Amino acid sequence: MGLTKRRFSKSRTAKRRAHFKAHAVTLVRCPKCHEPMVPHRVCPSCGTYAGRQVIEVREPEEKAAT
């Protein structure tokens, strides 16, 4: 790999990195429980995927007061 003769300026580096950004997560409504979920994944609230029950979802346990 070759070495550059001069260092890149800050503006040139910033122009290259202008497209390195986080994109918003796409959410869709679950057809069964209508909660927002990531498409093509198991619904975290009801545990269904493609119209069938895939995982069993348990209720969160309440923390004991100390």
65 located within any domain: no
**Domain membership of residue 36 as a residue range:** 23-58
1 located within any domain: no
9 located within any domain: no
66 band by pLDDT with thresholds 50, 70 and 90: low
11 located within any domain: no
Q: What is the number of domains present in the chain?
A: 1
8 located within any domain: no
User: ∠ at Cα 26 (30, 57), nearest 5°?
Assistant: 35
Read off the pTM. 0.59
36 located within any domain: yes
51 located within any domain: yes
38 located within any domain: yes
Q: Are 22 and 2 in contact (CB under 8 A)?
A: no
Per-residue pLDDT tens digits for 3-53? 888 889 999 999 999 999 999 999 999 999 999 999 999 999 999 999 999
